[in-house]
Amino acid sequence: MKIQDNCVVSIHYTLKGADGEVIDSSAGGEPLNYLAGADNIIPGLERELEGCVVGDQKNVVIQPADGYGEVMAELVQTLPAEAFSGIENIEVGMEFQAQTSSGGMQYVVVTEIGEEGITIDGNHALAGKELHFDVTVDSVREATEEEIAHGHVH
């Protein structure tokens, strides 16, 4: 069976940055499962895997626009320390949920603590990065009606 919309796909992968450093991998663990066509994985990788069958191996390079997007400068802000009142020992790398101007929630990470305040970044950690995937298709099956209705693998 070929990978197409409404298939449950299991892949083993290794993700590297442009410098060749491993960022993430399923090696030695469970494969990544996703519902094809349901935006469960980044668009560039999903597009590259469409039409593949069990056993296919692919090495693909995904540009930022088809991965986690470009870095958006407006998602980086320096806030006064008072904005974090009630939180002790703020450190670089800490993650918080912040409310957006439209009332939604967004994850941010502390990137710098300085005299001018605390800098947070709402960009995904892989935004702006070229992603190098080594992928092996482990299995492909038809999704159940429930999986299709819910938009994810059960």
What pTM, to 2 d.p., does this model score?
0.84
List, by residue range, all CATH 3.10.50.40 domains of the chain.
7-65+126-150
Q: Check if the beta carbon of residue 34 is closer than 8 Å to that of residue 12.
A: no
Specify the CATH class of 73-121 in words. mainly beta
pLDDT level of residue 104 (50, 70, 90 thresholds): confident
Q: Which is it for the CA torsion 127, 128, 133, 139, positive or negative?
A: positive
Q: Check if the beta carbon of residue 44 is closer than 8 Å to that of residue 60.
A: yes
CA distance 121 to 125: 9
Yes or no: domain 7-65+126-150 corresponds to CATH 3.40.30.10: no
Q: Check if the beta carbon of residue 152 is closer than 8 Å to that of residue 40.
A: yes
Give tens-digit pLDDT for 50-64.
999 999 999 999 999
The three-class DSSP label of residue 46 is helix
Widest distance between CA atoms in the chain = 59
With a cut of 90, say whether residue 103 has pLDDT above it: no
Q: How many residues does the chain have?
A: 154
List, by residue range, all CATH 2.40.10.330 domains of the chain.
73-121
